[in-house]
Amino acid sequence: MLNAPINSIATIALLLISSRAIAELILARLNHRHVVANANRIPDAFAGIIDEATYRRSVDYTLAKNKFGQIETIYDTIILLAALFSGILPWLSGQFQRHLGENAWAMAAFLFATGLLLSLPGLPFAWHAQFRLEERFGFNTTTQKLWWADRLKGLLLAALIGYPLLALVLKLVDWAGAYWWLWAWIVIIGFQLLMLVLAPVLIMPLFNKFTPLPEGSLRERLLALANRTGFRARSIQLMDGSKRSRHSNAFFTGLGNWRKIVLFDTLVQQLSEPELEAVLAHEIGHYKKKHIPKMLAFSALSLLVAFYLIALLARQPQFYAAFGFHNDGIAPALLLFGLLAGTVSFWFSPLLHLWSRRYEYQADRYSAETMGEVRSLAGALRKLNEKKLSNLTPHPTYSGFYYAHPTVLEREQALQRLNLPQQPALAK
């Protein structure tokens, strides 16, 4: 009688994984056709905004990433199915128990080793994306040595920080009993908050060089913006993002008195001073509108639900058996949940992106109102989308599943509805 629920669970998992893969391939095809349909001429909305050569390159870049993404989707799905249904995970768990025992450190080692093994098949794709795809379109600036060094540093940090944290979570099962999941959640949330303070000081400098923004008109302009918006930051720093890619970004890091404003050096090279001020005002808008604590709260709640579900699954022998495990404690439940969670959360991504887009519109509005005009932010958006060869004509359904930010056209149309000085309308 046990075989029926076991088979049902395995079937549900197979359907979830397959349906997500099929949906991703369908969305990719929809986006491909939509982009190709608009490839022969610059859409009217962008006439005079982008030249034909750049638009053609953005189309080629989008189609190349689309094709690569479809291959990667199929490959990742095969790897996931093989991991779940080949029996290798129960076998590996048995090996660790046999040689290291069943204590928290041994099971944490099993989880760490499994995560490492499952990441290996993706290395060729990550390498190809960096040194073939990004290189082809002029974005890659990293070297083979630096690329491999980044991965080695990441592995060492995972071993030094992630492995003990895994062992602590597993040990809480012995210490806290049935409510281990609540204490595990508290520990992980505390660790995340601690890392918000420590990572900018101890971890990020291992990968990038941070230098104070030099004295000059740009620094004075950005400091004046921070003062008039009541945004206190410890410093404004430049990050050498150009040693890896020509893509650009700006972000805040740290909490409270340790907060820093970080600008990619590529961003400073690509934008004018008013445009950089508008971009920083947009980021400050996220802070002033309390978007960051709201999203952190949602993330914390999601993590609490995840731990509770793991605790429920850990008490279901049929769940373990469906993937070849015996009831071997919390470790397999953590692993299986981690492998399967994405197949469910994928279907909620449009809702999360709607929420994220709403926040982007609010931050854009804050930036425009702070600047007293929309020209600077609109100019920055245009340049950034042009420099990174963004897809200017995504299929709406594809955009809903994958775009956390509105398109440049949608953002400019929203800016034009503000009663502020603005440049000629982007939309015809």
Q: Which residues are designated catalytic?
A: 283, 364
Flag whether 125 is in a domain: yes
What percentage of the chain carries pLDDT values higher than 70? 95
Flag whether 111 is in a domain: yes
Comparing 39-43, 63-67, 153-157, 202-206, the range with the smallest average pLDDT is: 39-43
For 53, list phi and psi in degrees, rounded to 5. Answer: -65, -45
Flag whether 18 is in a domain: yes
Q: What pLDDT, on the 0 to 100 scale, is given for residue 422? A: 61
**Which residue from 95, 195, 169 is spatially nearest to 335, judged by alpha carbons?**
169
Q: What pLDDT, on the 0 to 100 scale, is given for residue 199? A: 87
Q: Is the pTM of this model over 0.85?
A: yes
Flag whether 171 is in a domain: yes
Flag whether 255 is in a domain: no
| Number of domains the chain contains | 1
The answer to whether residue 1 scores a pLDDT higher than 50 is no
Q: What is the pLDDT of residues 31-61, one digit of tens each?
A: 999 999 988 888 777 777 788 888 999 999 9
Pairwise CA distance, residues 310 & 10, whole Å:
17
Flag whether 17 is in a domain: yes
Q: What pLDDT, on the 0 to 100 scale, is given for residue 260? A: 80
Question: Under 8 Å CB-to-CB from 307, ≥6 apart: which residues?
Answer: 181, 182, 184, 185
Strands 260-264 and 250-253: antiparallel
The answer to whether residue 428 scores a pLDDT higher than 60 is no
Residues facing residue 412 across a β-bridge: none
Q: For all residues of the chain together, what is the average pLDDT?
A: 90
Quote the Cα angle for 292-293-296, to 5°. 85
What mean pLDDT comes out for the span 381-388? Answer: 87
Q: Which three-class secondary structure string do you get for the chain?
A: CCHHHHHHHHHHHHHHHHHHHHHHHHHHHHHHHHHHHCCCCCCHHHCCCCCHHHHHHHHHHHHHHHHHHHHHHHHHHHHHHHHHHCCHHHHHHHHHHHHHCCCHHHHHHHHHHHHHHHHHHHHHHHHHHHHHHHHHCCCECCCHHHHHHHHHHHHHHHHHHHHHHHHHHHHHHHHHHHHHHHHHHHHHHHHHHHHHHHHHHHHHHHCCCEEECCCCHHHHHHHHHHHHHCCCCCEEEEECHHHCECCCCEEEECCHHHCEEEEEHHHHHHCCHHHHHHHHHHHHHHHHCCHHHHHHHHHHHHHHHHHHHHHHHCCCHHHHHHCCCCCCCHHHHHHHHHHHHHHHHHHHHHHHHHHHHHHHHHHHHHHHHHHCCCHHHHHHHHHHHHHCCCCCCCCHHHHHHHCCCCCHHHHHHHHHCCCCCCCCCCCC
- Position 248 confidence tier, pLDDT thresholds 50, 70, 90: confident
What mean pLDDT comes out for the span 90-104? Answer: 92
Q: What pLDDT, on the 0 to 100 scale, is given for residue 49? A: 73
The answer to whether residue 11 scores a pLDDT higher than 90 is yes
Provide the domain limits for residue 158: 3-205+299-346
The answer to whether residue 262 scores a pLDDT higher than 90 is no
- State the amino acid at position 296 in one-letter form: L
How far from 187 is each of 194, 298, 309, CA to CA, in Å? 10, 17, 17
Flag whether 63 is in a domain: yes
**Cβ–Cβ < 8 Å for 217, 328:** no
For 419, list phi and psi in degrees, rounded to 5. Answer: -85, 65
Q: How far is CA 185 from the centre of its chain?
A: 21
The answer to whether residue 4 scores a pLDDT higher than 60 is no
Q: What is the pLDDT of residues 386-398, one digit of tens each?
A: 888 888 889 999 9
Measured in Å, how far apart are the chain's first and last C-alpha atoms? Answer: 66
- Position 425 confidence tier, pLDDT thresholds 50, 70, 90: very low
**Cβ–Cβ < 8 Å for 28, 70:** yes
Q: What pLDDT, on the 0 to 100 scale, is given for residue 46? A: 76
Q: What is the pLDDT of residues 195-212, one digit of tens each?
A: 988 888 889 899 989 898
How far from 153 is each of 146, 157, 203, 205, 300, CA to CA, in Å? 10, 6, 10, 12, 27
Question: How are strands ordered across the β-sheet holding 250-253?
Answer: 210-212, 235-239, 260-264, 250-253
Flag whether 266 is in a domain: no
Question: Under 8 Å CB-to-CB from 217, ≥6 apart: which residues?
Answer: 273
* Neighbour tally for 77: CB within 10 Å: 18
- Position 256 confidence tier, pLDDT thresholds 50, 70, 90: low
Pairwise CA distance, residues 120 & 125, whole Å:
10
**Cβ–Cβ < 8 Å for 264, 246:** no
**Which residue from 341, 321, 310 is spatially nearest to 20, judged by alpha carbons?**
341
